Amino acid sequence: MRRWLRAAAAAAAALGALSGAAGCGIRGTSVPVDAGPAPSRASCEVSGDRGAAADSVNSVPVKVYLVCSAQLLTVDRTVRMPGDRFSTDRTAVGRALLAELQDQPTAAEAEAGFATEVPGSLEVSGPREGDPDAALRLSRLPDELPPYALAQIVCTFAETTVADGGRSVVLGGPSDDEPKRYPCTEGLRTRPDVAQTTGTPMG
C-alpha cells in the first residue's frame, strides 16, 4: 500500500509540474535551439612543438600562424628550405611555408586547440610577366579561399623574405587578375574572417 501511495504522489507531482509549465506559457518542443557556441577550453599554448630543434643545415625556425579560438596565433616550426637556408627566393620560401601550413597540427598543437584551414590542394608559383617582383600566384584566387586560410597564409608569409615590406604580401590567383597587397595587421589576427576584404590593388 505504501509503495502504491508513493507512486501516486510522484505521478501527481509530475502532473502538477506540467500544468504549471503550461500555465506559464511554456511549451515543450523538439526543435533544436541555438544557444550559441560552446565555451572554448582551448589553451592555445603548445609545449614541445616542432620548433625545438633543427635537423638539417637547411632548416630554419619560423613562426607559423594557425587558428585557435577563432583567431590567429603562432606556433614554432622548423622548416627545411630548398637549397640555401638563407635563400631569398620568394617562390621557394613560399612553397616551403605553404606546405607547413597544409600539414595537420601535431598532437600537442591539436590538444592545445590549434587547427589549419589551408587546403591541401593549394599551390603557389612565382610572379608573371608584368607582376611586381614580390608577387606570388596561388592556384586559387586569394579572395575565393576560406577567409581563415587566406589570413594564415598572409600572416605566415608576412614575417619572412616573402614579405613585400611593412608586414604585407602581394598575392594573385591563377588567371590574369591583378595581384593585391594583403597586410598582416592586429585586426586580421584577431578577426581572420575579414581576410577577403583586406586586399588592396597594386595600381
Q: Where are the domains of the chain?
A: 50-197
All three cell numbers of 23 = 500555465
pLDDT in tens, 136-157: 999 999 999 999 999 999 999 9
Q: How confident is the model at residue 132 (pLDDT cuts 50, 70, 90)?
A: very high
Question: CA-CA distances (angstroms) from residue 42 to 39, 45, 149, 174?
Answer: 9, 8, 20, 36
Average pLDDT score over residue span 194-203: 91
Q: What percent of the chain has pLDDT over 90?
A: 58
The predicted structure's pLDDT at residue 52: 44
Query: Does 3 score more than 90 pLDDT?
Result: no
Higher pLDDT, 97 or 86: 97
Q: Which residues pair with 136 in a beta bridge?
A: 171
Residue 131 burial (C-beta neighbours within 10 Å; 0-12, 13-18, 19+): middle
Is there a contact between 131 and 179 (Cβ–Cβ < 8 Å)? yes
Q: What is the mean pLDDT of residues 31-51?
A: 56
Q: How far apart are CA 108 and CA 100, in angstroms?
A: 16
Q: Which residues, other chains included, contact 166 with Cβ-Cβ below 8 Å and sequence gap of 6+?
A: 183
What pLDDT sits at residue 122?
98
pLDDT number for residue 19: 41
pLDDT at 81: 78
Task: Yes or no: say if 148 and 192 are a contact pair by the CB < 8 Å rule.
Answer: yes
Q: Is 96 exposed, middle or buried, given 0-12, 13-18 or 19+ CB atoms closer than 10 A?
A: buried
